[in-house]
Amino acid sequence: MLRKLLIGTALATSFAFSAHAADVKEVQMLHWWTSGGEAAALNVLKQDLAKEGYAWKDVPVAGGGGDAAMTALKAMVAAGNYPTASQMLGYTVLDYAAAGVMGDLTETAKKEGWDKSVPTALQKFSVYDGKWVAAPVNVHSVNWLWINKAVMDKIGGTEPKTFDDFIALLDKAKAAGVIPLALGGQNWQEATMFDSVVMSTGGPEFYKKAMNDLDDESLKSDTMKKSFDNLAKLIKYVDPNFSGRDWNLATAMVIKGDALVQVMGDWAKGEFHAAKKTPGTDFLCYRFPGTDGTVIYNSDMFGMFNVPEDRKAAQVALATATLSKSFQSAFNVVKGSVPARTDVPDTDFDACGKKGIADLKKANEGGTLFGSLAQGYGAPPAVANAYKDVVSKFVHGQIKTSDEAVTELVKAIDDAK
């Protein structure tokens, strides 16, 4: 009996210690794109790499979702077992770059002309200390309205151009007996909507000062108070059951026609596509009223780790394939986002995608492309989450007035800086 136990222990130990050597013709990839459309989109990349002779290996993540993946990544990096690349968001890339574990793709970047084609604002996250450390996969923007066209026709609504138009439109929907605004009452969704509200209320200059530069004066200004008041107005149009709802369920309400509109990033379009809806005939995409011409973005990046020399070739191949025009187009058509380089032809995209591409180009040239604070592209995670806390507490009534909200916001952000 005891001998069996000992043998068993020895076997288990030897299994645990048998570190599997990484194959040099293999791309080890940590990501959380496992659901239908996203997985299909990623398959394009797998096939591109297979053509060049590189095998793809997913790094398994238990539990799915970005948080679990980031916890797994932290453990891998701490153990010195770097993946070839990992899906990463915003400041995470910079954190890891500051810790000195990211690779250097500057050579490839120069050869491929990334610094000219990738929007400048994005390069803040993909370039650290003059070195390319990540390959952006896409650009999402959050200042979108997603509207059910049948409901819109029924209530005789037109595209809202100002915030007051928007309120009037919501009133019409309410009068017609549909839920005007589909919202999931989770803090990131509320804050994502508030990003657009701030842009709409204060304009691009103000947004940059408050939400990216975290300027105290702007954060406690009357404009910020008015933004909170506007948010309070919008919250009056959600159904009583909104708290805690997932974003895709809120999108489903719009798809089914139970609700008129959702304010959400363009990943919502993936849900419409999955439900076999076409833009223009089944649903409409407008910029959040008062934010036309500006883009509040977030972006998925493939962070490239400082892998041993023999695995570099696979990494370069991955990065090149990721930023190739063909993959950028194929992937983003499915994902609902727009390409992370501005020189990709928009022929394969639907109407919303075409508008997204044109908007991004315009915003990049006009300097009105700003990071979303709610999505972690405006400030480091500690600040972004403090912001989400305040917005969410305001929405759910722990913070009662807009005066109190700005005071709390300044306090929370100062605390987290």
Partner 1 sequence: MSTVAETQIKLTPEHDARPGASVRSRLQDLLPKIVLAPSFAATIVFVYGFILWTIYLSFTNSKTFPSYDITGARAYQRLWRWTFESDPPSSWYTSITNMGIFGFLYILICLALGLFLAILLDQKIRGEGVLRPIYLYPMALSFIVTGVAWKWFLDPGLGLEQTLHQWGWTSFHFDWIKNKDFVIYTVVIAGVWQASGFIMAMFLAGLRGIDGEIMKAAQIDGATTFQLYRRIVIPLLRPVFLSAFIVLAHLAIKSYDLVVALTSGGPGGSAWLPSNFMYEFTFKRNEMAVGSASAVIMLMTLTAIIVPYLYSELREKPR
Binding site for partner 1 (CB under 8 A): 1-2, 5-6, 9, 67, 70-71, 74, 78, 92, 95-96, 99, 185-187, 240-244, 380-382, 385-386, 389, 392-393, 395-400, 404, 408, 415-416
For partner 1, the closer CB: 90 or 160: 90
For partner 1, the closer CB: 2 or 19: 2
Rounded to the nearest whole angstrom, what is the least distance from the CB of residue 3 to partner 1 in the complex?
10
Angle at 210 between CA 207 and CA 214, to 5 degrees: 140
For partner 1, the closer CB: 74 or 325: 74
Rounded to the nearest whole angstrom, what is the least distance from the CB of residue 81 to partner 1 in the complex?
15
For partner 1, the closer CB: 144 or 237: 237
Query: For residue 364, which of 290, 299, 294 has the smallest C-alpha distance?
Result: 294
Rounded to the nearest whole angstrom, what is the least distance from the CB of residue 71 to partner 1 in the complex?
5
- Burial label for 225, CB within 10 Å (0-12, 13-18, 19+), is middle
For partner 1, the closer CB: 187 or 329: 187
For partner 1, the closer CB: 227 or 294: 227
Query: For residue 248, which of 276, 267, 226, 232 has the smallest C-alpha distance?
Result: 267
For 277, half-sphere exposure in the C-beta direction (CA atoms, 13 angstrom radius) is 26
For partner 1, the closer CB: 46 or 411: 411
Note whether 49 and 103 are within 8 A (CB).
no
Rounded to the nearest whole angstrom, what is the least distance from the CB of residue 188 to partner 1 in the complex?
11
Note whether 264 and 144 are within 8 A (CB).
yes
Rounded to the nearest whole angstrom, what is the least distance from the CB of residue 246 to partner 1 in the complex?
8
Rounded to the nearest whole angstrom, what is the least distance from the CB of residue 156 to partner 1 in the complex?
28
**Residue 156 — left, alpha, or beta (φ > 0 → left; ψ -120 to 50 → alpha)?**
left
Note whether 371 and 212 are within 8 A (CB).
yes
Alpha-carbon span 49 to 409, nearest angstrom: 46
Alpha-carbon span 139 to 141, nearest angstrom: 7
Note whether 293 and 74 are within 8 A (CB).
no
DSSP code for 279: B
Query: For residue 69, which of 57, 77, 60 has the smallest C-alpha distance?
Result: 60
For partner 1, the closer CB: 30 or 169: 30
For partner 1, the closer CB: 44 or 59: 59
End-to-end CA distance of the chain: 59
What is the residue whose two structure tokens read 């019409």?
172
H or E element in which residue 155 lies: helix 149-155
Which residues are within 8 A (CB) of 143 and not within 5 positions of it... i.e. 6 or more apart? 195, 196, 199, 287, 288, 291, 294, 295, 296
For partner 1, the closer CB: 117 or 306: 306
For partner 1, the closer CB: 238 or 295: 238
- Burial label for 192, CB within 10 Å (0-12, 13-18, 19+), is buried
Note whether 155 and 172 are within 8 A (CB).
yes
